[in-house]
Structure 1
Amino acid sequence: MTRKGSLSKRLFRTMLLIGIVNVVITLVATEFIYEDIEETSLTIGLADERAYFEQRLVGNEVTSWRSALLTAFFVPAGKEDVELPHMFRGKPVPYAAEVDLKDETYLLSIAPTEQVPGVLYLAQDITVLENREDSFQEFGFIMFAVGILAISLILARLGAARIIRPLQNLSSQIRKIRPDSSFKRIPAHYEDEELNEIAGVLNDLLTALDTYVRREKALVSLASHELRTPIAVISGALDVIDQRSPTDPTNRKTLDRIRQATDKMQADVDALLKLAHRSSEQDRTERVDLARCAHRVVAELESSAPEYVGRVKQTAPGDTAILSSDQTLVHMLMRNLIQNALRHTRDFVYIDIHGDRLSISDAGEGLPSHVRARLDGSADDKSVPEDGLGLFIVRLICERLAWTLQVRQSSHGGTHIDIVFRQEQNHPSVQPEQE
């Protein structure tokens, strides 16, 4: 499975990257502009100095001027063999550039003169200026970059949180929607047009789902009436036949089987209709003695199938579990589990009721992998299986009662299934109901 990333983290990283790029561009641009301004300023200054010295050139003699930061040297035409100061040596004519000589930095300007033929050499010592510039670049630029990055970090965090917050609010609104009641609509009052559009689309979907669920509930109610009516007719007809007291043992046996099948059908219909309703708030709870319920289930199975007689071994301590639950659903859950175990083994089936759990084990060949996945909840397919409703209904009943179903073992050595109850349902001090 591909690990999902966080939109908030991606936004934060993107904003921070934009801040870093802005810092780099700003520093490069600042350095370029600073160098250009410095060069332009010094060049203009040297041009003024050149004009000043050219006005004072007289005669045909080598002349030099020196101040704290400026050196001027004039070489008249015909005397090019004169020794030049060290900063001018080896430089062509004309020449203008910044020159680094060991621990010194000079801005040089070398050009021919017009009024008095010759070459005027100018050198401005900018060593102090360059040292201060280097210090500023090493400290000032670093502090500037750190400050801007810190601001970018804070803005990226705040910006990502501000963008994600409406999405989190929308997610919170969606999380509150429950399918067991009328779907509440999502308030579409977001400042962003895109989020309002998403909320509107979700509300349209909820409206369609609400209509579908209402139609489903209506169908379940209709099915309840249509299924119960023929069963009631069959039960009534059996009561009439019982009043006639048929003496033929064969007829009596047949009628008993019809009665058992009718009762089973009635219990199945009641349980299925309970499961079909989406809400569990109206379920009727009562005291359920698991041991007695298991005895009744085994008796029903043995009476309907002689090959099951004597194959179920039940163990339960003296303080057997007494639960506050739905009698119909518990009865159906036990019958499906025990009947499934009996069908898939010729050996004994063991029922153990102890503490907070009901355990059913057999010595069969184990459950198929897809059935085991459906029972332990790892199957992605939630549709009704085509290979039978028994264990599928077991899963639905456990979900409805908030019980935990655990397939502890399922292999060629047999299957062991545990049903763990909710602690608040377990009432060992309550007396069991009378049969």
Structure 2
Amino acid sequence: MISLRSGTVGARFTILFAVVFLAFAVVLLGLTFLLSAGDTTSVAPAGNAPVQGGLDPARQRVLHLEEQLATVHAQQARRLLAGSLGALLVMAAVAPLLGRVLARRVLRPLRLITSVTRRISAESLDRRLAVTGPDDEVKDLADTIDGLLERLEGSFDAQRRFVANASHELRTPLATMRASLDVAVAKPGPDASTVALADRLRTQLDRVDHLLDGLLVLARAQHGALADAAPVDLAELVGAALGERSAGVRTKALSVTVDLPPGTAAQGSPALLARLVDNVVDNAVAHNERDGWIRITGHARGAEVALVVETGGRVLDQARVDRLVRPFERLGGERTGSSGLGLSIVAAVAAAHGGRVALLARPEGGLRVSVALPVAMPGARPDADVPVPA
């Protein structure tokens, strides 16, 4: 039984309406029956009065009529009571239905607001509810949500512009430091300590440059800039990504299996999709164990094409795996060897294309990364000149 303190607003409104409606019906029918009963008892039955033998025929006739009238009133009272009970039962059945109809009609604007709000995400903050109608509480709520979305959109845009601008501006001092190192090492007779220091600094500069490149890609993907959308062959991207990491595959003695039919194409930005595939493959190679394995499969189903990359390894915690799509998140919180942007870029690129990413910690150990993307338009030719990031 749903109480007024639990359940949905519609259910509570229905119960409240039904209870109030039935209470008024009971009061109204009770008053009607009491008034009718009062009229009935005002006439005394003739059978209770002693009959005098010397009464004239007219007096006897009057008493007989009063007795008949009392009988008729008693029958009418019984019929009124039966009719009132029947009407009350009908009202008890109709009141919840009528309350449900009224509740749905009253709450319909709220359901529309909820439905539209659920479809608004960080990639579609430019959408608004734009509720029209009288200036009531519902419109006031919708206008408040629109104002909140406007402020959120401004904050997200400012954050993305800051990341993109800061990443771009930092490239200049990085290039200057790299050039200064090259000049210092190129001088005649550099000592061994200078060369060793320069090598260590170059390694750190490469990591910072890779981090800035990741931030730029992440900012672009979160903006959803897909003006260059075209069919992209995922099999070619996977082959290029594996080719670039062939040294890492040989060093770890990894067994790689690829089951991706040629022509498995997705519709999207060639540069962003290339970075997506590159990051997924790089994650599978870099975070694999020696003598491990990688299995890459894909298929097209309906309006989506799926790319699945599985790896073996130790058993992972699903709660930690779910956080890997956030920027700078790493398993175990380690800060070495990875920028922490790889899978977050994958998730951002997939979302910008209207797709999704699912991470699963395999019960046997290892990780399963599944990326769903919109399939290439029928009749379109996959782009063969897809830029692959270095």
Q: TM-score, normalised by structure 2?
A: 0.68
Rg larger in structure: 1
- 1:56-75 aligned within 5 A: 67=60, 70=63
DSSP-derived class of the 1:284 partner: coil
Give the SS at the match of 1:360: strand
Which of 32, 37, 40 lines up with 1:38 in the alignment? 40
- Which residue of 1 is the match for residue 291 of structure 2? 347
Instruction: Give the helix-richer structure, 1 or 2.
Output: 2
Q: Report which structure shows greater RCO (CA 8 Å, sep ≥6).
A: 2
Aligned to 2:369: 417
**What residue in structure 1 maps to residue 350 of structure 2?**
398
> Which residue in 2 is equivalent to 1:131?
75
Question: Relative to structure 2, which stretch is displaced further, 262-271 or 163-172?
Answer: 262-271
Letter in 2 for 1:24: V
Using a 3 Å threshold, how does the CA distance of structure 1 residues 161 and 297 change in structure 2: closer, same or farther? Answer: closer
Kept in 2, the 8 Å contact 1:290–1:323? The answer is: yes
Stretches of structure 1 that go unaligned for 5 or more consecutive residues are: 72-105, 108-122, 245-250
Match of 1:372 among 321, 327, 336: 321
Residues 177, 158 of structure 1: alpha-carbon distance in 2 compared, 3 angstrom cutoff: same
Contact 1:8 1:160 in 2 (8 A): yes
Contact in 1 for aligned 2:258/2:297 (Cα 8 Å): yes
Question: CA 1:238 to 1:335, structure 2 compared with 1: closer, same or farther past 3 Å?
Answer: farther
CA distance in 1 between counterparts of 2:206 and 2:133 reads 56
Does the 8 Å CA contact 2:310/2:368 hold for their aligned counterparts?
yes
Query: Is contact 2:167–2:215 with CA below 8 Å preserved after alignment?
Result: no
- Which residue of structure 2 lines up, in the alignment, with residue 10 of structure 1? 12
Q: TM-score under structure 1 normalisation?
A: 0.62
Instruction: Say if 1:267 and 1:328, in contact at 8 Å, map to a contact too.
Output: no
CA distance in 2, matches of 1:294, 1:344: 17
Deviation at 1:280, TM superposition (A): 1.2
* DSSP 3-state at the match of 1:70: helix
What's the offset of the Cα at 1:364?
A: 0.8
- Describe how 1:240-389 pairs up with structure 2 within 5 A: 269-277=212-220, 278-282=222-226, 284-285=228-229, 288-303=232-247, 308=251, 310-316=253-259, 319=262, 321-342=264-285, 343-356=287-300, 357-374=306-323, 385=329, 387=333, 388-389=340-341
Distance 1:259 1:349, change over 3 A: farther
Q: What CA distance in whole angstroms lies between the structure 2 residues aligned with 1:323 and 1:11?
A: 48
Query: What is the SS of the residue equivalent to 1:126?
Result: helix
Cα RMSD for the two superposed structures:
4.8
Partner of 1:29: 31
Q: Which runs of 5 or more residues in structure 2 are unaligned?
A: 1-5, 188-193, 301-305, 334-339
Instruction: State the match for 1:201 in structure 2.
Output: 144
How far apart are the structure 1 equivalents of 2:122 and 2:208?
A: 29
**Identity within the alignment, %:** 22
1:320 and 1:256 mapped to 2: Cα distance?
A: 43
Q: How many residues are aligned here? A: 358
- Decide whether the 8 Å contact of 1:408 with 1:417 is kept in 2: yes
Which one-letter code corresponds to 2:369 in the other structure? I
SS in 2 for 1:319: coil
8 Å CA contact retained: 1:290, 1:353 = no
User: Deviations along 1:201-240, whole A, 9 cap, x unmatched?
Assistant: 3344334324423422331342132233345556777999
**What is the CA–CA distance in structure 1 between the aligned matches of 2:269 and 2:130, rounded to whole Å?**
38
